[in-house]
Amino acid sequence: MTEKPSLREYLRRYAKGGIAREEMIATIAAWDFEEEIQDDLVIEPTGQDNVVSLLNDAVVLGGITYEDAEEILRRKNARG
């Protein structure tokens, strides 16, 4: 069984300068995102690693810009 790549790790590599901006945007726009587990009784993060909410976290933590996240989502939505 092949393990999925980690979006969290990919964003860390980008933030450290290991990946070019355009490559990061194109790669994440095509990412195989997982459905996020929603449980109103759980307030801690679920630890899921390949969910869209990680983009918001990366913006808040300064790993990517708001404009980067917007462009990723624009491209993802354009793909259908």
pTM of the model: 0.81
Q: What whole-number distance in Å separates Cα of residue 15 and Cα of residue 12?
A: 5
Q: Give the tens place of pLDDT for each residue, 8-35.
A: 999 999 999 999 999 999 999 999 888 8
CB neighbours of 7 closer than 8 A, spacing ≥ 6?
28, 31, 33, 49, 50, 51, 54
Q: Give the CB-side neighbour count of residue 31, counting CA atoms within 13 A.
A: 25
Q: Give the tens place of pLDDT for each residue, 53-74.
A: 899 999 999 999 999 999 999 9
What is the SS3 assignment for 5? coil
CA angle 70, 10, 26 (to 5 degrees): 45
